Structure 1
């Protein structure tokens, strides 16, 4: 039998829905679906009582030879010139039908993991690689995969929480990457911002995601560390406190340490930086967690990131937001106020990045100078030409909130300014804390 290769177009109905190979001995189940005898026999021998393609219950497991299809395949095979055996089609050459067949094969293999003593991990690994590459080719391809996400995601999320895959970081990385593809592109979210229908039957308490993620962060290569952090952030996004409470992930000091380590060692890798910032932002929503981030060097790490000259506006805003959150706890305020580089980096972002970054920077300065009354920060702002920046900002088209904070800052900084620029400036403002 001639196997298909890159130069041969195989009719879809000649392929077994399980193996995706040209069928040598096609047999039909009572559901009307035809499989290669060897593939369907292995499925049934594993104790399954459903049709793999339709998932219908089988009243009978009788296999009926499909002689007509067998003859058609034989005629087609003899008409195709013999060529050396090739690997599977490249992701670029996959048609929608081929991708859907690979997805079906992946689903079958994932379901068989718990029902067979010899799971087909090699096939799972290969099909995940093909589908991940396929998805990266464009929006239409992503839709093919995400349309099947409701079936695949629960199976993959369950695998990602099993410690047995810590012995195979390569496969674990592909499992996590494929979960991320589906999670990023799923749009069926309920009114509370969560999509519990995406995870039917999954009891998160049964899985040790904390150990899995921490091990990836400690021992994995940079790509796996980024993927693991993105996976956890997306899971928290879709499941909220249910995921955060699983294994008490958000309360683990080690988790904060590893996230800060990734942030510091990102080597200007924007993906690593963004993944760390996104997950930290979700974890420090709870006030009790903010001091944990600060204690493992959060302020110093955020200062280093904020000082990067090529930091993008969206990432700059995320860093400033995390610093603002850190300033709401005593340890965070002390670290920021005692870090001259941090205060100067915040001041440099005023009028330099975006309106959102300017407002966040002004809010931080107001919080430290006016709300907390820290004289060290007031002195630094005055010495670093902060007064001129604030006056310039007042003349711009800034929001009423920013304008009022600037007025309060000028009042506070007046006593620290020896110049004449403030001698004739008077502001009569009362202010409400902006957060």
Structure 2
């Protein structure tokens, strides 16, 4: 019996329906996985009946066996057990006085044929610019997706994302703004889109439309757009130049970061910014530096979550590859203290990124001031710990280089506890 099975069984033992006195659910009405009252009983080829939601989750985790018999299933066909469902519904009605609500008759799950058909209709409506028809189809898709997780999976698996991406590209003018926002919202759960879908969203008209949404006042639209844009750039790789060619896109993304919508939107924005700097490093990085990205990223790092910190440090490390970026980082009083503080405090990834950025900022050029400051805030001790606890080869080399350079100052500088806060540091204007 798998660990998933044991967890479900353990959590379901105490599930009883109560109303003054205890009412026990008949054993054969309980799902063998969740041990809860079945709402949509379905039978597998082995003859064992489960609640549809529970057995779907079992299969979604990669299991190909029947949980009760442990037999390998030749197929995942599920036959609705109408007789048992009727018995459960009758039992619910009979025990209404005990607070039991009658389970509704379940909807028939979405089929691949239905999704393929609606994808064809969306394609036809978008090619003919029939926005009303497209909106009707979009409403149908959203209703299907809301009905169950299984429906949503069926939609994604059968290419709804690619159909929506094509529609977005074809309607990408201000005339259809409301429809485009609805499509964008649906796209947030429609990935992966496939090569054709990504190509449609990378088109010039689609990217300009997304940039327009990011500038707008509609927060939900901005949030949806940055989520979708993140997925697009992840799928595109680092050789995609369409986005960086949009005029003013750097300032648009900077403002999305500066006036945060939610942590996930901030993370998505950081991924997009990193992508742009990797595609056209020197030119794009200089634009972001002039906008004040270094200062903004450091502000985010002070109290950021693990995921936000990791993505912020990736961006900061890329910025520090350029001369302009390093100089901007050195001018910020928070730079060295934050990097030292985050070492060994968040994750192995953040430690490696902190060491990498410290190495870039403190060594070479005008980095001596950074070395003195790093020693003063406990950087020497932190780097020794990094080497003692173990790290990657590149991080080891950079930590060693920093320690050699810091050794000159460690007896001349008064050290502070590296867990300090930054209240005493003057932040840049």
Instruction: Could you tell me which runs of 5 or more consecutive residues in structure 2 were left unpaired when the two chains were aligned.
Output: 1-104, 416-429
Q: Which residue does the alignment assign to 2:234? A: 237
- 2:300 maps to 1:290: no
Task: Output the TM-score relative to the length of structure 2.
Answer: 0.63
Question: In 2 relative to 1, CA 204–410 (structure 1 residues): closer, same or farther, beyond 3 Å?
Answer: closer
Q: Which residue does the alignment assign to 2:384? A: 391
Deviation of 1:146 after TM superposition, in Å, equals: 1.6
| Number of aligned residues | 309
Q: Which residue does the alignment assign to 1:264? A: 258
Deviation of 1:159 after TM superposition, in Å, equals: 2.7
User: How far apart, in 1, do the equivalents of 2:413 and 2:260 lie?
Assistant: 45
Q: Which residue does the alignment assign to 1:81? A: none
- 2:294 maps to 1:299: yes
User: How far apart, in 1, do the equivalents of 2:375 and 2:347 lie?
Assistant: 23
Q: Please state whether the residue corresponding to 1:417 is helix, strand or coil.
A: coil
Answer whether contact 1:253 1:292 (CA < 8 A) is retained.
no
Q: Which residue does the alignment assign to 1:182? A: 190
Q: Which residue does the alignment assign to 1:330? A: 323
Question: In 2 relative to 1, CA 199–260 (structure 1 residues): closer, same or farther, beyond 3 Å?
Answer: closer
For residues 274-423 of structure 1, what are the structure 2 equivalents within 5 Å?
Answer: 274-286=267-279, 287-288=281-282, 289-308=284-303, 311-372=304-365, 374-419=367-412
User: How far apart, in 1, do the equivalents of 2:309 and 2:107 lie?
Assistant: 40
For residues 163-242 of structure 1, what are the structure 2 equivalents within 5 Å?
Answer: 166-167=174-175, 169-184=177-192, 195-196=194-195, 198=197, 207-240=204-237
Deviation of 1:109 after TM superposition, in Å, equals: 4.4
Answer whether contact 1:110 1:124 (CA < 8 A) is retained.
no
Q: Please state whether the residue corresponding to 1:96 is helix, strand or coil.
A: coil
Q: Which residue does the alignment assign to 2:77? A: none
Q: Please state whether the residue corresponding to 1:237 is helix, strand or coil.
A: helix
- 2:167 maps to 1:159: yes
Selected match of 1:145 from 137, 150, 155: 155
- 2:133 maps to 1:124: no
User: How far apart, in 2, do the equivalents of 1:420 and 1:296 lie?
Assistant: 34
Instruction: Could you tell me which runs of 5 or more consecutive residues in structure 1 were left unpaired when the two chains were aligned.
Output: 1-91, 187-194, 423-435
CA RMSD of aligned residues (A): 3.2
Deviation of 1:332 after TM superposition, in Å, equals: 0.8
User: How far apart, in 2, do the equivalents of 1:164 and 1:401 lie?
Assistant: 46
Per-residue CA distance 1:282-323 (angstroms, 9 max, x = gap): 111122322222222211121111112xx2323211111110
User: How far apart, in 2, do the equivalents of 1:249 and 1:330 lie?
Assistant: 24
Task: Output the TM-score relative to the length of structure 1.
Answer: 0.63
Q: Please state whether the residue corresponding to 2:345 is helix, strand or coil.
A: coil
Answer whether contact 1:324 1:360 (CA < 8 A) is retained.
yes
Per-residue CA distance 1:377-413 (angstroms, 9 max, x = gap): 1122122122222233333233343333222112212
Answer whether contact 1:113 1:119 (CA < 8 A) is retained.
no
